[in-house]
A and B are shown apart, each in its own frame.
Chain A
């Protein structure tokens, strides 16, 4: 971007400035700290100049929004065309209550649904399973059968909304239930828009709601890719998630590196299963975290976009631009919230919202101020949603595309994160790919080391968390937190036993056996799951059959 002559001039003037102006000031007023580092622990220089982006080739490294390598965004007009989808992750207790919350959120101007499932659902257990005791309806809605799903979306036209479902190990079953509900509404699968998270690798790495071992899990994912590319073409079949990896304590560059390494594993697995990269790649989507270090985070999203585009084009030979586009959902960082002075979290979430928007996110969930304490109340959720609306409509940052591009710091940082992420990807390739690296505990160890380092910094006071290790006040216990009625568990149990007397149990058995044979063969399991779901076979029954055929994953201990 700069010719040699002007660079030399800049170097010269910078030296002069350092020797005179800066030196004088430092002599009188030393800096606050010996070393400044980002939240990820990367050193930040006092000043960035054109020297830091000597390497930058505008057309090659940045280009234009909507064009390769998509550094500046995936759409040509970005938020001038339409704002990101404001998508609040919600769901708790029963399908009835969650349905009410969704209708409320849609009335408040939310533009997409995001379903949170309770843990038994996420791990493929019905509410009457012994391990579900105490957990039913706690962190999301309990879905045991198609009946619950029908209630969940009652009165919500599925051809009009886009729905994101945070579901992984049993994603195939919940997607099938969604399709069955749509069918009852008279909506054909090709009209359905939404996303299933369906990212099992990060469950092994960081989130912990896995069921099956790696190989059958990868096969289920590939089956979904194949099935959806034929029948549910507008559905995002996976949301490759760095969010939880970051929550587990990794750095920004690790978030990009590990997430894209997982992405590479999914692409390789699908190609190995005989799919054409351009058939499924346009439906891959990503999910990142937004932490407080605003500029580092903006750079992170830009780096991820550029790196993925290059990987898809160069490594996998994708032809369609859509295959190279990294589209992503963002959630503000839950681990950055403090239980102390919870209202401060509103400010943190606002900064994180800015980061996601300046980084070009496609959709966003903002956390509520009280989430370090309990599930959010309706009031808290509204403030979180309003935060997005204020950034969207009042801040002005949405009026031009990628407004921070060209900042010496942002561009230097974008490249730094891209390079570091690529190093992690290379290392993982050397180990034999992401599944193997997870099996060996490499990724978990890296995350744990970073998490522990951060914790030490907070505890020694090297890193300030306002209200937690500095500026504390005496506080009263917060009041009015959301409580999930513990009776939900019993209610769900009754619903299941009642259902089992009403449905055609012979037919259920028949369809489950057909599913078992499909699992044992190479057949795509999706049609069989859909058939089983329609007979009101429960989630636990369907996953139970798959557990019997596939076995269960065993966690590695990496501390």
Chain B
């Protein structure tokens, strides 16, 4: 099988193969399964960093600078940069690379841009698989840069070991807007463009927000950076390393990865059940029948779904 050949090359760090495999997991679910089944045993080595936060916060520049700092320490880096896909045309403009031009020809860096392709949550559906491929490819660190839409960024937690929440002064109101739930996902807060007026205020707001939140063993640190001038990046990377140390020492890494894997399995089961149920109900036209019965008030949505599920459980 061609896939196995590919995997051999991937393990040898072949760039084109890595790129190809990411395309396959993006485009073909069946082959994606096949690939992940074959490479899974080699995964789990990379430290996965999520970079999230509101749009205009300088996430790409920060990613660029973090990657450079990691390269200075001799580490290899994989970057997945996600931009929104147009819901109307299915097209997308993926422009994050523009901030990472110096990294383009660095053999120790692999950058991949992905469109969300209709997937909500700030990532793309294939992100998780792409991370695994980059992990096997040999990236010591994998940075995922999310779309940056504020409210729907929480998926990053399920995919990253360390989540860096990027904030900028001048978007003050946005902190209010995104605090619900989203603020809690930050393991580290980076106040970017901290040379601008209002940086101290933003930091204070984040601090206040953290004070209000539930008490945790570990309080997320707040780091001031100016990504465009490469200021404070070493400090941020130190905090990222500290976080990994904390995860390991506290046993949190195991918990977190367990949680994530559990979630991943549940998600896959959900998807599979949905697929089977919909497929089954399609052949029997059960869904259409049930729908029209509900429309006619002969039954209700709850009873209808229960009867479809019964149909399905008989068939498993």
Does A touch B (CB under 8 Å) in the complex?
yes
B56, B95, B170, B228: the one within 8 Å of A554 (CB): B228
- Whether B229 pairs with A551 at a CB distance below 8 angstroms is yes
A432, A440, A551, A555: the one within 8 Å of B98 (CB): A555
B interface bracket (residues with beta carbon within 8 Å of A) = 10 to 19
19 residue pairs A–B, Cβ–Cβ below 8 Å: A213-B228, A213-B229, A432-B170, A440-B56, A441-B56, A551-B229, A551-B230, A554-B61, A554-B99, A554-B228, A555-B98, A556-B98, A557-B93, A557-B95, A557-B96, A557-B98, A557-B99, A559-B93, A559-B95
A213 CA to B195 CA in the complex, in Å? 14
Which residues of A have CB within 8 Å of B229?
Answer: 213, 551
A548 CA to B209 CA in the complex, in Å? 39
Which residues of B have CB within 8 Å of A441?
Answer: 56
Measured CB to CB, the closest approach of chain B to A430, in angstroms, equals 12
Find residues 56-103 in chain B having any chain A CB closer than 8 Å to their own CB: 56, 61, 93, 95-96, 98-99
Which residues of B have CB within 8 Å of A554?
Answer: 61, 99, 228
Find residues 500-559 in chain A having any chain B CB closer than 8 Å to their own CB: 551, 554-557, 559
With CB as the reference atom, state the residue of chain B lying closest to A559.
Answer: B93
A440 CA to B95 CA in the complex, in Å? 15
With CB as the reference atom, state the residue of chain A lying closest to B227.
Answer: A554
Which residues of B have CB within 8 Å of A557?
Answer: 93, 95-96, 98-99
Find residues 426-470 in chain A having any chain B CB closer than 8 Å to their own CB: 432, 440-441
With CB as the reference atom, state the residue of chain A lying closest to B94.
Answer: A557
Q: Which of B61, B96, B228, B229 has the most CB of A within 10 A?
A: B228
Measured CB to CB, the closest approach of chain A to B169, in angstroms, equals 11
Find residues 407-435 in chain A having any chain B CB closer than 8 Å to their own CB: 432
A254 CA to B18 CA in the complex, in Å? 45
Measured CB to CB, the closest approach of chain B to A216, in angstroms, equals 11
Find residues 317-337 in chain A having any chain B CB closer than 8 Å to their own CB: none
A402 CA to B19 CA in the complex, in Å? 63
A108 CA to B7 CA in the complex, in Å? 70
A551 CA to B56 CA in the complex, in Å? 21
A76 CA to B95 CA in the complex, in Å? 51
A53 CA to B170 CA in the complex, in Å? 41
Measured CB to CB, the closest approach of chain B to A558, in angstroms, equals 8
Which residues of A have CB within 8 Å of B170?
Answer: 432
Which residues of A have CB within 8 Å of B93?
Answer: 557, 559
With CB as the reference atom, state the residue of chain A lying closest to B170.
Answer: A432
Measured CB to CB, the closest approach of chain B to A482, in angstroms, equals 32
A266 CA to B170 CA in the complex, in Å? 23
With CB as the reference atom, state the residue of chain A lying closest to B98.
Answer: A557
A559 CA to B83 CA in the complex, in Å? 13
With CB as the reference atom, state the residue of chain B lying closest to A441.
Answer: B56
User: Interface readout for A205-216 with B: 1 if CB under 8 Å, 0 if not?
Assistant: 000000001000
A432 CA to B198 CA in the complex, in Å? 13
A432 CA to B171 CA in the complex, in Å? 13
Measured CB to CB, the closest approach of chain A to B219, in angstroms, equals 32
